[in-house]
Structure 1
Amino acid sequence: MLRNDIASVGSSTGYLVLATTPGNGITLQWDSNGDGYLDTNTTKTGSATVAPVWLRLVRSGTSVTGSYSADGTTWTTVGTASLTGADSTLDAGMFSTAHAGTIGTANFSQFSVS
Structure 2
Amino acid sequence: MAIPSSSADRAALSGGRNDEFRYLYQNAGSGFQEIIVRMSYFDGSVNAWSKVGPMLRSSTASNSAYYMLRATHGNNISAQWRNNTGNNSSSVSGPPYNVPVYMRITKSGNTVTSSFGYNGSNWTELDSRSMNNLGSNFLVGVAVGSHTAGDYAEGRFEIVSIR
Q: Please give the range of the TM-score, normalised by the shorter of the 2 chains.
A: 0.7 to 0.9
CA RMSD of aligned residues (A): 1.9
C-alpha distance after superposition, 1:30-76 (max 9, x if no partner): 113x1345521112113xx1222010000011110000011212110
Partners in 1 of 2:70 and 2:145 — Cα distance?
Answer: 10
1:98 aligns with 2:152: no
Structure 1 residue 90 displacement after superposition: 1.8
Matches within 5 A, 1:28-47: 28-32=79-83, 34-37=84-87, 39-46=89-96
- State the TM-score, normalizing by the size of structure 1: 0.82
* Structure 1 or 2: more strand by fraction: 2
> Alpha-carbon deviation of 1:87?
1.1
How far the C-alpha of 1:17 sits from its partner, in A, is: 0.8
Equivalent position to 1:2, from 47, 56, 59: 56
Query: Sequence identity, in percent?
Result: 29
1:26 has 2:74 as partner = no
- AA at the equivalent of 2:56: L
Q: How many residues are aligned here?
A: 108
Q: Which moved more, 1:59-68 or 1:91-100?
A: 91-100
Comparing both chains, which one has the higher relative contact order based on Cα–Cα distances under 8 Å and sequence gaps of 6 or more?
A: 2
How far apart in 2 are the matches of 1:38 and 1:111? Answer: 28
Q: Distance in 1 between matches of 2:133 and 2:153?
A: 33
Is 1:113 paired with 2:152?
Answer: no
* Structure 2 residue identity aligned to 1:29: Q
Query: Which residues of structure 1 form unaligned runs of 5+?
Result: none
Q: Structure 2 stretches of 5 or more lacking a match?
A: 1-54
After the TM superposition, which residues 45-56 of structure 1 pair with which residues of structure 2 at under 5 Å, given as runs? Answer: 45-46=95-96, 49-56=97-104
Cα displacement string for residues 2-32 of structure 1 (whole angstroms, at most 9, x for unaligned residues) = 1121x2211x33x111111122111110113
Aligned: 1:66 with 2:117: no
Give the match's secondary structure for 1:86: coil
Calculate the TM-score normalised by the size of structure 2.
0.59
Q: Which runs of 4+ in 1 moved over 3 A?
A: none
